Amino acid sequence: MQAIRTAILSFGMSGRVFHAPFIALDPAFELVGFWERTTNNSLEFYPNAIIYRSLEDVLNDATIDLVIVNTPTYTHYEYTKKVLLAGKHAVVEKCFTSTTAEAIELHQIAIDKNLQLSVFQNRRWDSDFKTVKRLIKENWLGNIVEAEIHFDRFKEELSPKLHKETPGPGAGTVYDLGPHLIDQALCLFGMPYSVFADIRITRPGSLVDDYFEILLYYKTIRVRLKSGYQVREAVPSYVIHGNKGSFLKSRGDIQEIELVANKKPGNKEWGTEPIEEQGLLHTEMNGQIIRGKVPTMQGNYADYYSGVANAINNHTAMPVTAQDGINILQIIEAAFKSNQQKAVIDL
């Protein structure tokens, strides 16, 4: 089968770390080139790559099948629309777009043009989350009654990336880290029926939100999602309680750390957490109390792109669908509405 010829719209951290290594690794793809306006940084890593100097250059390349839209969130709607209208499949970095309405429009264009459209929610393939998901699926905790998921940092200085610190569409932590936590919650429990949120600024000089607590209400489950930049001593990133037991787990996935260090994926040890990051399971099974560490599953972002290739080649569903991205945006918009009104917002 012919390789899926792919172009990436940015070679910053996202392109270098999260996309290019896995596209280059997978024989189902051919990594053709990158949009770099004035630099040639990608050639250090991919010396045979084409350097596109404009988006139009990418779109006018009739050989390109798939475009990775990994530019700032406020550009996602405009660029992805142009990609789809040019007849090319698209993978869009989180957050999908700045508004639900934009996301719905893109989804419809993809349907009308019989194109594949996906949102890059790579944290589904983190080692820690895969372990949490497995324990819940295998009923180790019984009926889940409460879940708390964190993505915390200790970082008071502002980001050098101006688009992340300048107020505007898609800026702030709710749009940056929120999609990871919301997507994981939706994978585990589906869509909630209502949302409550507290969104704040905690860093001196910050103009965009850098703290949030979002409560998702289900019929029998309460889910709390939290992120902050003033957390020196991290609490467990996953705290899951059921009527049989509990599971506590750190955010221990090492893939991003290794990718930033320019380590290449593909070896048998890839995505293997240090043993000290194993989660604590305290539960009851077959009348016996069990309390101890649980081996962590391996993480692997390559599985996302394997799913993308399968979807394009065999016309199956993308591993993360456009509708998944729409659902996340509906919760984000409800969260901001809740914070403004200090009220629970029904979906």
Q: 108-142, pLDDT tens digit by residue?
A: 999 999 999 999 999 999 999 999 999 999 999 99
Percent of the chain with pLDDT over 90: 94
Per-residue b or e along 100-128, where b marks 16 or more CB atoms closer than 10 Å to that residue's CB = bebbbbbbebbeeeebbbbbbbbbbbbbb
Name the DSSP letter for residue 203: S
- Who's near 338: CB < 8 A, 6+ residues apart? 195, 196, 197, 344, 345
Contact 254, 277 (CB under 8 A): no
Residues of CATH 3.40.50.720 domain(s) within the chain? Answer: 4-122+304-318
Cα(320)–Cα(261) distance, integer angstroms: 27
Say what the pLDDT of residue 166 is. Answer: 87
What CATH architecture does domain 127-299+331-346 belong to?
2-Layer Sandwich (3.30)
Its pTM stands at 0.96
Identity of residue 2: Q
Name residues of the chain where pLDDT drops below 70: none
Cα(215)–Cα(198) distance, integer angstroms: 9
Say what the pLDDT of residue 165 is. Answer: 86
211 vs 95, 251, 299, CA distance in Å? 17, 18, 27
CATH annotation of 4-122+304-318: 3.40.50.720
Contact 109, 135 (CB under 8 A): no
- Who's near 220: CB < 8 A, 6+ residues apart? 143, 145
Per DSSP, the three-state class of 187 is helix
Residues of CATH 3.30.360.10 domain(s) within the chain? Answer: 127-299+331-346
Burial (CB count within 10 angstroms: exposed 0-12, middle 13-18, buried 19+), residue 97:
buried
Which helix (H) or strand (E) is 5 found in, with range? strand 4-8
Query: What's the CA angle centered on 58, arms 46 and 91, to 5 degrees?
Result: 80
End-to-end CA distance of the chain: 43
Give Cα 84 distance to the centre of its chain: 21
Pairing of strands 238-242, 144-150: antiparallel
Name the DSSP letter for residue 170: T
